[in-house]
Amino acid sequence: MSKKTCKLCGKVHSENVGSHVFTESLIRLNFNPSGKRNDKEAIFEISTKKIGVDYLGRSVLPEEKEEILNSIQAKEAADDSWSNPYIDNDLVCRSCEKRFGHIESYFISNVFNKLLKSNTAYTFKNNEEQQVSTLFFLINIWRASKSQFPNFSFSHSFKETLGSLLNEILSSENNVSQTILNYSQHSHKLDSFSFKPYFLQMDESDDPTTNTIVADNLVNPHIFLFSRFLIISTEDLTNMISFPEYLPISNQRFLTDLEVNQNSIDIISNEERKNLNLTFALRAWQESVDKAHETLRLMLSQKFNYTTTTTDHAQLQQCIESKIVNGTFISHDVLSNCAAVVAKSILDRLSLN
Q: Which of 268, 288, 310 is the last residue of a domain?
A: 268
Instruction: Indicate whether 210 and 346 sit together in one domain.
Output: no
Among the candidates 213, 238, 268, a domain finishes at 268
- The residue among 250, 268, 286 that closes a domain is 268
> Do 187 and 249 have their domain in common?
yes
What was the pLDDT predicted at 9?
94
DSSP 88-105: ETTS--HHHHHHHHHHHH
Tally Cβ neighbours within 10 Å of residue 85.
Answer: 15
Q: Decide if 131 is inside a domain.
A: yes
Residues 116 and 255 grouped into a single domain: yes
**Residues 299 and 341 reside in one and the same domain:** yes
So what's the pLDDT on residue 1?
59
Quick one: 158 and 240 in the same domain? yes
In a shared domain, residues 114 and 186 = yes
Query: Is position 189 within any domain?
Result: yes
Domain count, the chain: 2
Q: Is residue 330 one of the residues assigned to a domain?
A: yes
- 195, burial (CB in 10 Å: exposed 0-12, middle 13-18, buried 19+): middle
What pLDDT, on a 0 to 100 scale, did the predictor assign at position 353?
66
Query: CB atoms < 10 A from the CB of 141, how many?
Result: 25
pLDDT at 260: 80
214 and 110 in a single domain? The answer is: yes
Q: Are residues 195 and 338 in the same domain?
A: no
Identify the pLDDT of residue 83: 53
Beta strands in the chain (DSSP E): 4-5, 12-13, 19-20, 87-88, 122-123, 194-200, 214-216, 222-226, 229-234, 264-268
The 10s digit of each residue's pLDDT in 47-97 is 333 333 333 444 445 555 455 444 433 433 444 444 566 788 889 999 999
Domain span holding position 342? 278-352
Paired with 13 in beta bridges are 4
Q: What is the mean pLDDT of each run of 10 residues along the chain (353 residues)?
A: 87 84 78 48 35 40 49 40 68 92 95 94 95 95 84 83 95 93 91 90 87 78 88 82 81 86 91 90 83 88 91 94 80 80 90 75
pLDDT value of position 39: 39
DSSP assignment letter at 115: H
Residues 183 and 292 reside in one and the same domain:
no
The whole-number pLDDT of residue 134 equals 95
Both 257 and 336 in one domain: the answer is: no
Looking at residue 317, what is its pLDDT? 93
